[in-house]
Amino acid sequence: MSLPTQPKKTVYLVFDIETAGKDLHHSFLAVGMCYGDFEKGVICDEVLAVNDGKGINFEPRCLYEFWSKHLDVLKALEKAGKPIDLQMDRLRDWLSWFDNEYKDYNVKILSDNPAFDIARLDHHFVRESRGHSVRYSRSGIYRSIEDPSERLEALLLTETANKIIPDLIPNYVPHNPSSDAQYIFWQHVIASAATNMLRDGKKGCKSLQDVRQYLEKIAPWGELIPESKNLFKNILLSLARGEQIQ
């Protein structure tokens, strides 16, 4: 008699890109990445910034409405940038390492607006590194892609998450692609925690309003003590795993 197989553990691979506009001829500025799980939270993060030395080709609206308000991030990306072919080769090598390290895991990709971010990343990754889409592992296994922001919208928790998440990310800088990738990961944690709380009635939560009030009550608002933030992270991760919190 064969023994029942244990379900694979899941690890989340997160991508966020920054560009100078909506079309392919507008400059690709950077990709931010992180990966994590519901046991440890974010395990590792990375930024690959692009600078070909020829200046940035901006979409005027994108420059005026967005990047003119985040010049510190833009300058940091320019300074750290390297030619796109080198950075896509680095991404290929990093993903090869990741595939080997987590070959026994169920890998899911998270991204905000993946129809844009993953499609644009794939365009450069396939062209410059001669690799395959990031949607596939090195061995050709398809990876599903989720957009946690859509789950939060459906749960009416976007505003609550936006209040909570910046305190969960070390040295958080809005629109830094590494920070944004970690932001997406915690969006997924909160959406999963809220779903479990509603399904199982954890902490007496019987409605979305109950979930929202509970999360906002226990969040360490502006708390500088690392222990408080870590405790809150562990509560969220436990709820995301579906565990009961005393």
Give me the CATH number covering residue 16. Answer: 3.30.420.10
Q: What percent of the chain has pLDDT over 90?
A: 67
Question: Does 115 share its domain with 167?
Answer: no
Domain endpoint, select from 115, 146, 177 = 146
| 194, part of any domain | yes
Domain endpoint, select from 123, 146, 169 = 146
Write out the two tokens for 1: 């008699």
Question: Does 136 share its domain with 211?
Answer: no
Q: pLDDT tens, 74-110?
A: 999 999 999 999 999 999 999 999 999 999 899 999 9
* Residue 186 confidence (pLDDT): 97
Question: Does 86 share its domain with 168?
Answer: no
Which segment of 40-44, 187-191, 202-206 scores lowest on mean pLDDT? 202-206
Question: Does 154 share its domain with 142?
Answer: no
| 236, part of any domain | yes
Q: What percent of the chain has pLDDT over 70?
A: 93
Question: Does 69 share its domain with 132?
Answer: yes
| 1, part of any domain | no
Residue 163 CB coordination number (10 Å): 13
Q: Domain of 92?
A: 8-146
Mean of the pLDDT values across residues 231-243?
A: 89
Spatial distance between the Cα atoms of 120 and 128, rounded to a whole number of angstroms: 12
Question: Does 140 share its domain with 18?
Answer: yes
Question: Does 160 share its domain with 142?
Answer: no
Question: Does 54 share its domain with 84?
Answer: yes
Residue 148 CB-half CA count within 13 A: 30
Question: Does 129 share its domain with 159?
Answer: no
| 13, part of any domain | yes
Considering the entire predicted model, what is its pTM? 0.93
- Tally the domains of the chain: 2
| 3, part of any domain | no
5 φψ region: left (φ > 0), alpha (ψ -120 to 50), beta (else):
beta
* Residue 1 confidence (pLDDT): 47
Q: pLDDT tens, 129-146?
A: 777 888 888 888 888 899
Question: Does 91 share its domain with 203?
Answer: no
- Identify the band that residue 231 occupies on the pLDDT scale cut at 50, 70 and 90: confident
Spatial distance between the Cα atoms of 112 and 107, rounded to a whole number of angstroms: 17
Question: Does 83 share its domain with 205?
Answer: no
Domain endpoint, select from 146, 165, 181 = 146
| 67, part of any domain | yes
In 20-65 the beta strands, taken as DSSP E runs, fall at: 28-37, 41-49
**Residue keyed to tokens 């409605």:** 207
Residue 181 has pLDDT above 60, yes or no: yes
Spatial distance between the Cα atoms of 24 and 115, rounded to a whole number of angstroms: 14
* Residue 219 confidence (pLDDT): 80
Question: Does 176 share its domain with 207?
Answer: yes
